[in-house]
Structures are given as structure tokens and as C-alpha cells.
């Protein structure tokens, strides 16, 4: 609205409300101290720092995030000033609140109900459920897209008329709303596009008092008083904060486009990037494991994290824990290594309690996890719990325990298994998909979050990759996925931490190998590879009288058909296992004895499906074990 020049009295820079931490105070300031968490009003708030009059500040309620606070002050102060101060709304009066699903509208509905008024409201049909959730009856709700609200509300009121209209619409909507007002009615205009001369309105509607306003008409002293009154109502739970949708400031263009299309409800918040506080504590889960240790050394050496809390099941009893501590201390870091089962919320709470108040938690890196592969049909509850608890349950407990804290980063080590090529890892894929979704959830509510769906780590990094046999690594390499070392991984981490997206896939890919995969390029990666369009089995059958395999088998004696098929299976099995030819495979031995596991079994299924021109079940090797 401001940038488009619709508020001539308010020029650039834009941004009128915020929440944050007091960094400095000027002379004569009382009641506000450095370090206080506050919300308030001020100019040029779309940035990392803002200078404000202390009268326009209020303390951020306990348990509120900055995003919650940033969306409260203008909406609730505007609604309070319009309804209580200007309209003098009292108990038993009728009030019409237009655009009730917007920020000011949702605040106004709550305030009007608190004042004892009978509330009528409009909103677009897709947002009217929000009005019902705020307690507005169905017959008191109408669309803000047409003028039917006038007749509908007049019928409900039985010709009595409205006492107050809080307006943000324009043109014929304004006229229709003025027609609804009873004798002595007050029309309070907070919109900017159709402000009218009170004298002209009085000439047409002599029984109505018309007033347009801006919040700052109230003056700094009154605004400060209103914020204090509102805080009391929030504390007593008479009022509740608004729903918010957050975008990093780097994505402001997308946020404004979303707003311009009226796709939002409540408030839109821009969040500012934050750097790790070198005096704060960084928590690394799985901190004594391979990837956790690489991360700890990187943070201490390259990013100058001075205080590290490393949590793992075995704590300082983990292998190489003493050497890791020595390396980190040599880099200048203070190190605390703790034993903790992160799947237990009580142990998570106890872990955070050991962080000294003078060095508060500034970042969380969740690297913990275990593997126990299996296709979905082979998974037992123990195999599911064993993988989800240290990964998904632990992430949720960390989220719950830290969401009220002022973190600069909340980074989850996920896996590309949840995004692509996850056959045979049903439990591990699910655990990591949860991490990805949790990061997006935190992101949209204004909490810091990133889920990094890592690709394949080199065995020497000590991650879960070191459980893979040479055969598994060769199989993955044939799929186009290359392993990354510690240095490359940390370069990707540093790059990710500069980006606003909550979900990223750090995944080295050999595009040439990918393009020539014998089992075809996965759909999600086809944009990275140049491959000819694949004909489906149905198309091949129609155009050529059956697949190539079917045509080869046609007319052969049964014994010869079986020989062809067994040779095909042996050849494909040999390719999966890395043998030179099918002669290395003994057809009568169980696949399990030959070295097949869940992942290689699925790869064999994919190869045979492609060769046969037909879809085969993922459980093929388990259903037919030789």
C-alpha cells in the first residue's frame, strides 16, 4: 500500500511494526534495557535494526516468538483505537467488521466481543471458516466479494440497523455499509483508497458520524497506553495473537506477491537472517559420531563457535571422544560432551538445563540417526521405532524444547533417501521426510529451520555410509550419485546457511552416469539428464506385438524359455552385484546368500522390470528367493 503511493502522508522506507531484542538505549530512557525482548511500532522496520520511541514499545509476552509479536501491534492497536476510542463501542451494540479474516479484522472481532458487542463480519468465502473459529455465527457472516451482505444483515437485524461499521472496503461497499447504519451510527474508516469528506457524508447521511483515521493520529502517548492495555488482555487470555505466515526477507518479493493476491490470512512476517553468536552455545546431536565430529571441528575452526555441547548416547565414552575434545579445545572452543537419549523428552530438557545462562543456546544441529534398511513389507515395529526414534522423535523433542528460544539456526541433517531413490529404506525415508516437513513447519511460523537432505558421504567421513559395503558404493555410483568428502560437505553446509530456503538437497550428481542409468533416470532427476523419451510397456506391446523379451521367447520350447529367463535374471543379478557376467551367479542359491539386501533387491527388480517391459512387485526377490 505504501510502496504503491496509496498513503501519500507516509513515504519510504517501508515497515511499520517489528519484534526483536533491544541493542541500545539512548539517554533518558527508562523501563527498557539492553537485551529486552520487545515488540512495537516504528519506521523502516524492514531491516535488521530500527530506532524507535520507547513509548511505542511493549514487552514481548513470555512464550511468544518474535514472529507472533511482530504481527500484533499494528493490528490490535488499530482495532482498539477504531472501536474503543473513536467509535466508543459498548456492550450490546451491533458492529460490522469488514475484511474480518485480515489482521486488523481478526483483532477487531476479538476486541468487539471483549467489549460485549454483537459482531457481524465479511470475508471472502474461502476464509469465512476463520470467522466461525472466532465465534461469529453463520447468519452474521457474509461475503466481502459482493453487496449481498447488506440485505442479509438487514434481514437478521429486523430493520434495527448497525451501530458501528469498521470499514476497509471501498466504492459501493462503503455506500451499502453507510445505508446499514442506525440513527447515531458511527462509520469508522481505516481504508486508504476511498476516504470521504465528513461534510459530504453528513449531507447524504445526517444520522451518521463519519471518521477516517490512521493509528498514529492517536499520538505516541496514547499508542503506548493502548499497547499496555492490550498486553493485559493477552496475559488474561481475553485476546489471542494472530496466525502468521513468515518469509525470510530475502524472499520479500514472493511475500508481497502472496499478499497482493489476497492468499493470506492473519499477518505476513518478514524474518531477518541471524549469525551465530560466538558467545552462545551450539548444540550438536550425534556430536561424537562421524558427521557430528566433522561439523564440530568445522564450527570451531571456520565459523569460530566458541562453546560446543556435543550430545550422543554414549557421551564421552564414545570412541575417539577424548581426541575430539582435544582437537576442539586446541581450536579455541570450550567443549561439553553429554550422554543423552534424545528420544526421551525429559533427557532433552535436562540436556538444555546444563547450558549456562551466560552462554545461551544459539544454534541446534541435529545430525543423529541410525540405519536399519528394509522394504516396507519387511518392516517390523522394532525396525521402524529403531530408526524413527533417534531421528524423528528426537527432532520433535528438540523443536518443542527450543521453540521459545532466540535461536539463530535449527539445522536438521536429513537424507536424500526421503526425496529420491529410497527403495529398500522405508523406515529411514519416513524418518527423514519428517525432518523435512518439520523444517518447513518451523519456517512458516517464523522459527529458524533448515533440513539438509544430504546425498552420499564418503566412507572415510565416518557417517552411516561406512556401514555400506564396496558393492553398495559401486551400485550407488552406477546410479549417478557420487560420494562427498568432509571438505566438500562443509562447503555445501556453509552455502546452505546463507540461503533462506528451509529444505535443500546437497547432492553431488554425475550427470553423465545419471543419463546412462540402466534402470532409467528417476522422474525427479530427469531435468538434470538428457535421455530419450521412454516408451511404456503398453506402447511397446501395441507397436511391436509385445516386448523384445516376449518376442524372443515366442515359439521357443518351454525348457528353452526357462533357460532364457534364468540367464536374464543371472545376468541382471551379476550386474547389480558388480560381477563381470551372469556366469558368476549360481541360479539355485538364494539371493540372500548371494549378497542381496533390501536395496540391491529393489535394484534387481527395477532392471528386470525394464528388461521384461512390465511392472514387477517390489517384493519380487522375497517372493521368489532364488
Kindly write down the DSSP assignment for every residue of 256-318, as one continuous string: HHHHHTT---BEEEEEPP-PPPTTSEEEEETTTSHHHHHHHHHHHHTS---EEEEEESSGGGS
pLDDT tens profile 158-169: 989 999 999 999
Residue 457 within a domain:
yes
Q: Are 234 and 80 in contact (CB under 8 A)?
A: no
Q: Residue 596's domain spans which residues?
A: 537-623
Q: Based on the fold, state whether residues 502 and 542 are members of the same structural domain.
A: no
Q: Based on the fold, state whether residues 327 and 428 are members of the same structural domain.
A: yes
Residue 555 reports pLDDT greater than 50: yes
Q: Are 294 and 327 in contact (CB under 8 A)?
A: no
pTM of the predicted protein model: 0.71
For 98, 170, 171, the CA distances from 147, given in Å and listed in that order, are: 12, 11, 11
Domain boundary among 218, 246, 266: 218
Residue 588 within a domain:
yes
What's the pLDDT at 596? Answer: 84
Provide the 3-class DSSP secondary structure of residue 473.
helix
Q: Based on the fold, state whether residues 193 and 294 are members of the same structural domain.
A: no
Q: How many helices (H) and strands (E) does the chain have?
A: 24, 18
Q: Based on the fold, state whether residues 293 and 428 are members of the same structural domain.
A: yes
Q: Are 55 and 221 in contact (CB under 8 A)?
A: yes
Q: Are 139 and 277 in contact (CB under 8 A)?
A: no
Q: Can you give the CATH number for the domain in which 407 is found?
A: 3.40.50.720
Mean pLDDT of 20-33: 92
Residue tagged 539438509 (cell numbers): 452
> Which of the two residues, 519 and 620, has the higher pLDDT score?
620
Torsion over CA: 577, 582, 583, 589 (sign): positive
Q: Based on the fold, state whether residues 604 and 478 are members of the same structural domain.
A: no
Number of residues written out for the chain: 626
Q: Are 75 and 99 in contact (CB under 8 A)?
A: no
Residue 437 neighbours by CB under 8 Å, 6+ apart: none
Q: Count CA within 13 A, CB hemisphere, residue 389.
A: 14
Residue 133 within a domain:
yes
DSSP 376: G
Torsion over CA: 394, 395, 401, 405 (sign): positive
Burial class (CB in 10 A: 0-12, 13-18, 19+), 249: middle
Q: Write out the three cell numbers for 27.
A: 539517554
> Which of the two residues, 438 and 456, has the higher pLDDT score?
438
> Which of the two residues, 375 and 444, has the higher pLDDT score?
444
Residue 256 within a domain:
no
What's the pLDDT at 523? Answer: 84
C-alpha–C-alpha distance, residues 38 and 59, integer Å: 4
Residue 472 reports pLDDT greater than 70: no
pLDDT-derived band at 10 (thresholds 50, 70, 90) equals low
Q: Write out the three cell numbers for 37.
A: 525482548
pLDDT tens profile 572-611: 999 888 788 888 899 999 998 888 877 788 888 888 988 8
Residue 508 neighbours by CB under 8 Å, 6+ apart: 455, 456, 481, 482, 483, 484, 488
pLDDT-derived band at 9 (thresholds 50, 70, 90) equals low
C-alpha–C-alpha distance, residues 596 and 424, integer Å: 11
Q: Based on the fold, state whether residues 374 and 430 are members of the same structural domain.
A: yes
C-alpha–C-alpha distance, residues 445 and 451, integer Å: 15
When the pLDDT of each residue in the chain is averaged and rounded to a whole number, the result is 89
Q: Write out the three cell numbers for 158.
A: 429486523
For 8, 10, 192, 207, the CA distances from 5, given in Å and listed in that order, are: 6, 8, 10, 33
Q: Based on the fold, state whether residues 511 and 543 are members of the same structural domain.
A: no
pLDDT-derived band at 449 (thresholds 50, 70, 90) equals very high
Tell me how far apart the terminal alpha carbons of the chain are, to the nearest angstrom.
70
Residue 225 within a domain:
no
Q: Based on the fold, state whether residues 411 and 559 are members of the same structural domain.
A: no
Residue 21 within a domain:
no
What's the pLDDT at 610? Answer: 87
Residue 57 reports pLDDT greater than 90: yes
State the Cα angle at 223 between 218 and 224, rounded to 5°. 150
**Secondary structure, 3-state, 382-440:** HHHHHHHHHHHHHHHHHHHHHCCCCCCEEEEEEEHHHCCCCCCEHHHHHHHHHHHHHHH
Question: H or E stretch including 396?
Answer: helix 394-402
Q: Based on the fold, state whether residues 172 and 294 are members of the same structural domain.
A: no
C-alpha–C-alpha distance, residues 495 and 488, integer Å: 11
What's the pLDDT at 463? Answer: 61
What's the pLDDT at 466? Answer: 58
Burial class (CB in 10 A: 0-12, 13-18, 19+), 337: buried
pLDDT tens profile 202-234: 999 999 999 999 999 999 999 999 999 999 999
Domain count for the chain: 3
pLDDT tens profile 483-533: 899 999 999 999 999 888 999 999 898 888 888 887 778 888 888 887 554
Q: Count CA within 13 A, CB hemisphere, residue 485.
A: 2
Q: Based on the fold, state whether residues 488 and 575 are members of the same structural domain.
A: no
- Report CA 19 to chain centroid distance, whole Å: 20
pLDDT tens profile 171-195: 999 999 999 999 999 999 998 888 9
C-alpha–C-alpha distance, residues 250 and 229, integer Å: 35
Q: In what order do the strands lie in the sheet with 307-312?
A: 334-339, 307-312, 281-285, 361-366, 409-415, 450-454, 503-504
Pairing outcome for strands 118-123 and 141-143: parallel
Q: Are 442 and 366 in contact (CB under 8 A)?
A: no
Give the whole-number percent of the chain exceeding pLDDT 90.
62
Residue 292 neighbours by CB under 8 Å, 6+ apart: 284, 285, 286, 310, 312, 365, 367, 368
Other Cβ atoms less than 10 A from the Cβ of 493: the count is 23
Provide the 3-class DSSP secondary structure of residue 367.
coil
pLDDT-derived band at 124 (thresholds 50, 70, 90) equals very high
Helix, strand, coil tally for the chain in percent (to 5): 45, 15, 40
Mean pLDDT of 64-86: 94
DSSP 126: G
Q: Based on the fold, state whether residues 187 and 304 are members of the same structural domain.
A: no
Other Cβ atoms less than 10 A from the Cβ of 385: the count is 14
Residue 13 within a domain:
no
pLDDT tens profile 76-104: 999 999 999 999 999 999 999 999 999 99
- Report CA 527 to chain centroid distance, whole Å: 25
What's the pLDDT at 478? Answer: 77
Q: Can you give the CATH number for the domain in which 113 is found?
A: 3.90.180.10
Amino acid at each position: 500500500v505504501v510502496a504503491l503511493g496509496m498513503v501519500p502522508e507516509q513515504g519510504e522506507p517501508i515497515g511499520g511494526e517489528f519484534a526483536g531484542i533491544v541493542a541500545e538505549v539512548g539517554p533518558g530512557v527508562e523501563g527498557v534495557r539492553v537485551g529486552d525482548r520487545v515488540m512495537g511500532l516504528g519506521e523502516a522496520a524492514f531491516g535488521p535494526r530500527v530506532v524507535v520511541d520507547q513509548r511505542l514499545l511493549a514487552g514481548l509476552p513470555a512464550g511468544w516468538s518474535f514472529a507472533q509479536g511482530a504481527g500484533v501491534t499494528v493490528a490490535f492497536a488499530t482495532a482498539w483505537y477504531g472501536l474503543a476510542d473513536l467509535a466508543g463501542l459498548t456492550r450490546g451494540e451491533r458492529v460490522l467488521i469488514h475484511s474480518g479474516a485480515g489482521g486488523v479484522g481478526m483483532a477487531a472481532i476479538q476486541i468487539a466481543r471483549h467489549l460485549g458487542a454483537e459482531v457481524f463480519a465479511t470475508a471472502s468465502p474461502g476464509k469465512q471458516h476463520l470467522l466461525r473459529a472466532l465465534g461469529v455465527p453463520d447468519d452474521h457472516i457474509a461475503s466481502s466479494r459482493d453487496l449481498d451482505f447488506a440485505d442479509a444483515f438487514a434481514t437478521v437485524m429486523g430493520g434495527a440497523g448497525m451501530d458501528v461499521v469498521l470499514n476497509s472496503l471501498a466504492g459501493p461497499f462503503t455506500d451499502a455499509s453507510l445505508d446499514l447504519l442506525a440513527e447515531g451510527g458511527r462509520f469508522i474508516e481505516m481504508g486508504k483508497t476511498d476516504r470521504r469528506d465528513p461534510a459530504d457524508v453528513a449531507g447524504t447521511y445526517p444520522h451518521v458520524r463519519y471518521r477516517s483515521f490512521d493509528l498514529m493520529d492517536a499520538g505516541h502517548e496514547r499508542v503506548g497506553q493502548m499497547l499496555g492495555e492490550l498486553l493485559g488482555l493477552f496475559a488474561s487470555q481475553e485476546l489471542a495473537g494472530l496466525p502468521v505466515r513468515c518469509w525470510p526477507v530475502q524472499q520479500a518479493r514472493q511475500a508481497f506477491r502472496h499478499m497482493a493476491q489476497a492468499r493470506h490470512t492473519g499477518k505476513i512476517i518478514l524474518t531477518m537472517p541471524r549469525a551465530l553468536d560466538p558467545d552462545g552455545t551450539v548444540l550438536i546431536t550425534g556430536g561424537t559420531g562421524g558427521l557430528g565430529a566433522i561439523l564440530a571441528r568445522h564450527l570451531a575452526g571456520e565459523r569460530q563457535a566458541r562453546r560446543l555441547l556435543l550430545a550422543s548416547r554414549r557421551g564421552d565414552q564414545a570412541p575417539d571422544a577424548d581426541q575430539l575434545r582435544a582437537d576442539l579445545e586446541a581450536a579455541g572452543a570450550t567443549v561439553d560432551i553429554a550422554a543423552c537419549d534424545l528420544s526421551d523428552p525429559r533427557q532433552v530438557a535436562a540436556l538444555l538445563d546444563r547450558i549456562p545462562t551466560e552462554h545461551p543456546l544459539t544454534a541446534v544441529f541435529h545430525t543423529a540417526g541410525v540405519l536399519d534398511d528394509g522394504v516396507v513389507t519387511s518392516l517390523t515395529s522394532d525396525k521402524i521405532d529403531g530408526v524413527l526414534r533417534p531421528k524423528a522423535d528426537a527432532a520433535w523433542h528438540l523443536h518443542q524444547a527450543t521453540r521459545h528460544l532466540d535461536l539463530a539456526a535449527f539445522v536438521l541433517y536429513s537424507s536424500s533417501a526421503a526425496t529420491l531413490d529410497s527403495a529398500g529404506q522405508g523406515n529411514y525415508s519416513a524418518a527423514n521426510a519428517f525432518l523435512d516437513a518439520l523444517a518447513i513447519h518451523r519456517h512458516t511460523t517464523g522459527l529458524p529451520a533448515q533440513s539438509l537432505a544430504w546425498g552420499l558421504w564418503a566412507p572415510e567421513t565416518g557417517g552411516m555410509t561406512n556401514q555400506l559395503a564396496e558393492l553398495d558404493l559401486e551400485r550407488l555410483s552406477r546410479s549417478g550419485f557420487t560420494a562427498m568428502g568432509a571438505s566438500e560437505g562443509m562447503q555445501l553446509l556453509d552455502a546452505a546457511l546463507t540461503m533462506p530456503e528451509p529444505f535443500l538437497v546437497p547432492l553431488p550428481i554425475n550427470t553423465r552416469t545419471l543419463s546412462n542409468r540402466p534402470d532409467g533416470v528417476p522422474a525427479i532427476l530427469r531435468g538434470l539428464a538428457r535421455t530419450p523419451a521412454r516408451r511404456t510397456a503398453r506402447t511397446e506391446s501395441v507397436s511391436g506385438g509385445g516386448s523384445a523379451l516376449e518376442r524372443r521367447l515366442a515359439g521357443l520350447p518351454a525348457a528353452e524359455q526357462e533357460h532364457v529367463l534364468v540367464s536374464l535374471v543371472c545376468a541382471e543379478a551379476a550386474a547389480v552385484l558388480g560381477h563381470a557376467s551372469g556366469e558368476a551367479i549360481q541360479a539355485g542359491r538364494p539371493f540372500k546368500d548371494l549378497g542381496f539386501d533390501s536395496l540391491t533387491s529393489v535394484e534387481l527388480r527395477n532392471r528386470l522390470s525394464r528388461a521384461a517391459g512390465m511392472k514387477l512387485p517390489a517384493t519380487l526377490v522375497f517372493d521368489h528367493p532364488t
